[in-house]
Chain A
Amino acid sequence: MRRSLLLWCCAVFACGSFVSTFAQQGHPLTGTWSGDWGPTATERHPVTFVLNWDGKQVTGLINPGPDSIPIASVFVDVATWTVRFEADAKDAGGKPVHISAEGRIDDLGSYHRTLAGSWREGAAKGDFKITRD
């Protein structure tokens, strides 16, 4: 069991090393970003963004999969690398809920640059931090 865990950890580390070697140098937002958001430091919800620059706008999804949320709009201020996302989702009860998140890209040239800031989901407020995979 312990050996399996060790092998699994090695595999994860190796995959991480491989990905970091082949970093993306194009539009800074393009790619997959993962992290979490939440109203407090202890209540966190995992979140994944998949973003793409098509030459005119950034498009993408939040949490790709069966319950993915299309991103309605992405605004990027390239002077400060501040990014604002707007999206419409459904809460656990199936009611429409609006998501807005605004953050700033940190260490733009890094292989694992981060995007962190504030998050609003319906009446809930919190913060988020995602890292480019």
Chain B
Amino acid sequence: MPHSIPSAGFLAVAASILLALPAFGQHPLSATYDTGRKVTLRGTVTRIDWVNPSAYLFLNVRDAEGATANWAVEFGNPLELEKDGWKSNSLHIGDTVTVEGNPARGAAMQAFATSVLLGGSGKKVFVASGKPHPPAPSAPAPRGADGHVRFGAPPGKTGYWGAASATALIENTAAKVPMNREGLLANLADADRVAPFQPWAKAVYEYRQRTLLKDDPIARCLPAGGPRQFQMPNGFQFLEQPQLGRILVLLGGGDRNWRVIYTDGRKQGEPDEVVRGYYGNSVGRWEGDTLVVDSIGFNEHFWMTAGGLPHTEALHLVERFSRPNFNTLKYEVTVDDPRTYTRPWTGGWTVQWVPDQEIQEYFCEENAESTFIR
């Protein structure tokens, strides 16, 4: 079976992207912005869209000929920005600013900001950090009345699960595969190391990589199904309801979706009888301090991880959740989809606890006008 060979252009673009874009918003930045180019814009703020998934500044910028054009400058997810100290009122309409960033691919007057400098004071009001927040001091994992480890906050406390240690799923037998936070490989030849693809699946994965993830369904605000739900910005939370025989997973990214894991001892359903969805039909059981969740009944409307791993309706996931200490969630998933992969395979990551905070309101569609129409 012939394989596609990555072009020099792809490698150059991927290598430059690997130098790190922060994981802002809900659409693949690589597909929208050319990280190999820089743009400096000096202009007056005409509008501020402090909305999810990405905040935008609109600037009137005068060119060398004296003509004025209105630029849309994306500068990150508001929830992440607030964690970095940025406020919605850090800038005001009428302020003069200098923006450095990456221009959009094509002719659109749009850019992604890497820094915003306030004109009068010269004060740098925003610098894209992309750095994960340091973990809080550790403590033993909390336990419920039944003795099981709790994955949510202890009674009387708040907190949620935030940044994942990996933003893409790869087989855990592979050595480190260089890729950026969007799951874009530095070297397309590494595709074979990501997962044991069937030939068609590898070709689809490579196509998605070569086209810089432009067709990612989450860019259209569809839910991040499968393992990807635990890699989204804005985190997630577990709400344990032993009296109802279930655990709810409340998802901060996407559209404030939730997932149900039944822990009432029921058996998994037959694949043909399950209504297919983004999160599947999930049945959980305890193995010591590990919650083992078996899920089937997935639709084919999503990419199960950043980077574009494909799957079919035959997807069967076995997820293993454990909390080795208060601040760490260990997530491991075995992917079994014989229509897509040549054998079952396993990957995983850890997730950090964000103490004393709640997941904030987030709606992906909020700035659809800026993201989709412009």
Residues of A within 8 A of B (CB): 21-28, 30, 53-55, 76-79, 81, 108-110
Q: What is the distance, in angstroms, from A109's C-beta to the closest C-beta of chain B? A: 3
Q: What is the distance, in angstroms, from B183's C-beta to the closest C-beta of chain A? A: 15
CA distance A79 to B2 in the complex (A): 6
List of A residues within 8 angstroms of B311 by Cβ: 26
Q: B261-306: which have CB < 8 Å to A?
A: 299-303
List of A residues within 8 angstroms of B208 by Cβ: 109
Q: What is the distance, in angstroms, from B368's C-beta to the closest C-beta of chain A? A: 13
CB closest residue in chain A, given B203: A78
CA distance A86 to B336 in the complex (A): 32
Is there an interface contact between A54 and B339, defined as CB atoms closer than 8 Å? Answer: yes
- 6 additional A-B pairs beyond A26-B312, A76-B200, A78-B200, beta carbons within 8 Å, are A24-B301, A27-B200, A27-B204, A27-B310, A30-B312, A109-B215
Q: What is the distance, in angstroms, from B372's C-beta to the closest C-beta of chain A? A: 12
The dominant DSSP class at the B interface is loop
List of A residues within 8 angstroms of B220 by Cβ: 21
Nearest first, the 9 closest Cβ-Cβ pairs linking A and B are A109-B215, A26-B300, A55-B339, A79-B2, A78-B203, A26-B312, A24-B300, A78-B200, A55-B338
Is there an interface contact between B211 and A21, defined as CB atoms closer than 8 Å? Answer: no
Checking A23, A30, A53, A81 against B217 with a beta-carbon cut-off of 8 angstroms, the contacting residue is A23
List of A residues within 8 angstroms of B199 by Cβ: 78
- Chain B interface size band reads 20 to 34
Is there an interface contact between A109 and B207, defined as CB atoms closer than 8 Å? Answer: yes
List of B residues within 8 angstroms of A78 by Cβ: 1, 199-200, 202-203
List of A residues within 8 angstroms of B217 by Cβ: 23, 25
List of B residues within 8 angstroms of A22 by Cβ: 222, 299, 301
Checking B3, B211, B299, B338 against A109 with a beta-carbon cut-off of 8 angstroms, the contacting residue is B211
Contact with A along B161-196 (1 / 0, CB 8 A): 000000000000000000000000000000000000
Is there an interface contact between B1 and A23, defined as CB atoms closer than 8 Å? Answer: no
Q: What is the distance, in angstroms, from B296's C-beta to the closest C-beta of chain A? A: 15
List of B residues within 8 angstroms of A23 by Cβ: 217, 301
List of B residues within 8 angstroms of A53 by Cβ: 200, 312, 339
List of A residues within 8 angstroms of B215 by Cβ: 109-110
Is there an interface contact between B303 and A79, defined as CB atoms closer than 8 Å? Answer: no
**In the complex with contacts A21-B222, A22-B301, A26-B300, A109-B314 CB distance below 8 A:** no
CB closest residue in chain B, given A79: B2
CB closest residue in chain A, given B312: A26
Q: What is the distance, in angstroms, from A112's C-beta to the closest C-beta of chain B? A: 12
Is there an interface contact between A79 and B203, defined as CB atoms closer than 8 Å? Answer: yes
Q: What is the distance, in angstroms, from B66's C-beta to the closest C-beta of chain A? A: 41
The listed residue with most A CB atoms (<10 A of its CB), out of B2, B199, B200, B222, is B200
CA distance A53 to B37 in the complex (A): 41
Q: What is the distance, in angstroms, from B214's C-beta to the closest C-beta of chain A? A: 7
Q: Does B358 contact A (CB under 8 A)?
A: no
CA distance A81 to B199 in the complex (A): 12
Can you spell out 29 A-B residue pairs with CB atoms less than 8 angstroms apart?
A22-B222, A22-B299, A22-B301, A23-B301, A24-B300, A25-B301, A25-B302, A25-B303, A25-B310, A26-B300, A26-B310, A26-B313, A26-B339, A27-B340, A28-B200, A28-B204, A30-B300, A53-B200, A53-B339, A55-B198, A55-B312, A55-B314, A78-B199, A79-B1, A81-B203, A108-B207, A109-B207, A109-B211, A109-B215
